[in-house]
Amino acid sequence: MTRLWRRYKHERDEEARNELVLAHLPLVRYILGRLPISLPSGVSAEDLASAGVVALMSAIESFDPSRGVEFATFAVPRIRGSMFDELRHHDTIPRVVRQRANAIEAACVELGRQGNKAPSLDEIAAAVGSTAREVESTMAAVGFRNYLSVNSFCRTTSVGRDQIMESAADASEPTPLAALMAKERASIVSEAIADLPEADRRVITLYYRDGLLLKEIAEVLSVTKARVSQIHARALFRLRARIADLAGGQPPPRQEAAS
């Protein structure tokens, strides 16, 4: 691989670049397979893969092998970000659904402050004057944005073995303030995960700690992949609300789709 990088970076050998792209295509497939969401209408896995390949080619162009950083460490966040941008472009949520989601999140925070750290769907529904089915469908509808929101909050957070998201190692030394903030985020996320209902916590653990795909989790739990996706969506919703409570009422920033 070192020879390929030398041929491309120093000799601008296009054949070497093509070989580098082919050698690292598994990164695109891996990231695509790790997206724990249902795709919005109008976007396909092929669309995301294409966006990932374009990002891969850009990463190969920008990568400097002499800096001693692994290419995967450099490329993965760029490929994932490109896929997220593609999803944002196609993802739209009606205002009424956003309003319901905000009301449900506020109810979860309030119930948590009252001592009910893991309210059931029925309890949440009673608090907002809705049904458990509507609450869960709303959680699923905003699942992608909650994924980005919690993902953003936790991107440098490792919670013991319960790592809520994969993050690339930073080659530079963190400042004392950055290290302190990362430690605080780790504590908040660790507590938020511990407060989840058993089913939600198990899906989060199997997905983020053990690295299982949704279909593999479905086999472990003897449920459908769609059901695992639902549980994952509501777990992220609850995590976002619980993080807001533990962080003093400031939820992670909600990621909005491009208009």
Is 259 inside any structural domain? no
Which of 90, 108, 126 represents a domain boundary (last residue)? 90
Q: Which of 258, 256, 34 is nearest to 145 (CA)?
A: 256
Residue type, 241: A
Residue 143 domain-assigned (yes or no) = yes
Interaxial angle between packed helices 121-128 and 95-113, expressed in degrees from 0 to 180 and rounded to the nearest 10: 110
Element (H, E) at 52: helix 45-62
Q: Are residues 77 and 122 in the same domain?
A: no
Mean per-residue pLDDT, 35-52:
79
| 146, part of any domain | yes
Residues 17 and 61 in one domain: yes
pLDDT digits (tens, 9 = 90+) for 72-83: 999 998 998 898
Is residue 55 one of the residues assigned to a domain? Answer: yes
Give domain status of residue 118, yes or no. yes
Which band of pLDDT confidence, cut at 50, 70 and 90, is reported for residue 257?
Answer: very low
Q: What is the CATH number of the domain that holds 230?
A: 1.20.140
The token pair that represents 204 in the structure block? 């989060």
What is the residue-averaged pLDDT of the chain? Answer: 81
pLDDT at 64 over 70: yes
Q: What are the pLDDT digits (tens) for 103-135?
A: 998 999 899 889 898 899 999 999 999 999 999
What burial letters (b/e) apply to 152-174, b meaning 16+ CB within 10 Å?
Answer: ebbebbbbeebbbbebbeeeeee
Cα angle, residue 141 at apex, residues 135 and 142 outer, rounded to 5° = 100
For residue 156, the model assigns a pLDDT of 44
Binning pLDDT at 50, 70 and 90, where does residue 145 land?
Answer: confident
103 shares a domain with 63:
no
| Structural domain for 188, as ranges | 95-246
pLDDT for residue 223 = 94
> How many structural domains does the chain have?
2
Chain segment 183-209, per-residue pLDDT in tens? 677 778 888 888 899 999 999 888 877
Where residue 176 falls among pLDDT bands split at 50, 70, 90? low
